[in-house]
Amino acid sequence: MNKIPLSFLDLAPVPEGKTTAEGVAYTVATAQKAEAIGMNRYWMAEHHNMPGIASAATSVLLSHIGAQTNKIRIGSGGVMLPNHSPLVVAEQFGTLQALYGDRIDLGLGRAPGTDGATFQALRRQMHDAERFPQDVQELLFFLGNDSDRSPVQAFPGAGSNVPIWILGSSLFGATLAAKLGLPYSFASHFAPRMLGQAIATYRDNFESSIYLDKPYVMLAANLLLAQNSNEARYHFTSAQQSFVRLRRGGRGQVPKPVESMDSHWNATEKAMVDDALSVSFIGSVDEVRPQLQRFIEEYKPDELMVTANIYDQQARLQSLELVPQLELFDLN
């Protein structure tokens, strides 16, 4: 099996009892560790009205990460485009490209990344998402080489050609990415149900473009490695608790891990969370390696992006330190 690049997706988790500043400091340390082991990209996700996530101002935090790293690609996974004007996004990521050169990626999502009330507070409306295909094309125009005759240009941004990715968990994003000839990232780490169908749709309908000559698929997964399975599963209960709380409409910082989830969810919630997090690789290196190998062989991604939004920062760093022992990835 050919080795593929490995990247990291982060939400800048803020653990219970910690400040946003501490959460951001943990994120910087995680990005530096990802770079040290040779990961390809470090992406941040835009979410709002969530006290356990510090990446709402995604481009601002990406700039901070860029200043604290040297070579790892940094980008959005993603910017929720219905929340923003394409011109403003072009200016933000054009600025990042001016600061950090060709290390910048711009992943775009169609969902608002928040609840309806917060969407209104962002001065947006739910039907704004219907313009997503047109907004993507407008953003490509602002970042491209042909806007010099336009009455409106992105400064910075014009001519930067920041690579744009389409993110998704359904056939809509897969179809759009294929039509525009853009790379595609599927959110299998929390919405895996249409994984196989979306990948097939993208690959079967891909049209080569000035951006990409053949399909490029990146899949997302939860990955948490530890010295033994019990330790890894203990720390992963933080992520499971967060999902239960989200399903209940609650909010809060990233919870501490627990010895057992039995008293923290009912049977219906357990089934729902197990389904949402089914693309998760949790355990020791020897336990996880064959599971990951089967996943890669089945879906044949061009790249894998992993995430671990848990309470314990040392467990996150230790997991990254163990990644090279998997011997499955092309680490720079």
Q: Write down the pLDDT at residue 109.
A: 94
| CB hemisphere CA count around 268 (13 angstroms) | 2
pLDDT given for residue 1 in this prediction: 76
Which residues is 223 bridged to in the sheet? Answer: 281
pTM across the whole model: 0.95
Domains in the chain, please, with CATH?
6-230+280-326 (3.20.20.30)
What is the per-residue pLDDT for 115? 62
- Confidence (pLDDT) at 47: 86
pLDDT at 129: 67
Residue tagged 């992105």 (tokens): 154
* 5 Cβ neighbours under 8 A, 6+ residues apart: 39, 40, 41, 302, 303, 304, 329, 330
Q: Tell me, what's the pLDDT at 120?
A: 72
Exposed / middle / buried, residue 172 (Cβ in 10 Å: 0-12, 13-18, 19+): middle
Compute the distance between CA of residue 75 and CA of residue 137 in angstroms, rounded to an integer. 19
**Separation between Cα atoms, residue 39 and residue 33, nearest integer Å:** 9
Q: Which helix (H) or strand (E) holds 106?
A: strand 104-109
Nearest to 281 by CA among 308, 301, 314, 313: 308
Per-residue pLDDT of the chain (332 residues; tens, 9 = 90+): 799 999 999 999 999 999 999 999 999 999 999 999 999 999 999 988 899 999 999 999 999 999 999 999 999 999 999 889 999 999 999 999 999 999 999 999 997 655 667 667 766 665 666 899 999 999 999 999 999 999 999 999 999 999 999 999 999 999 999 999 999 999 999 999 999 999 999 999 999 999 999 999 999 999 999 999 999 999 999 999 999 999 899 989 999 999 999 999 999 999 999 999 999 999 999 999 999 999 999 999 999 999 999 999 999 999 999 999 999 999 98
Give the Cα separation of 13 and 23 in Å (integer).
6
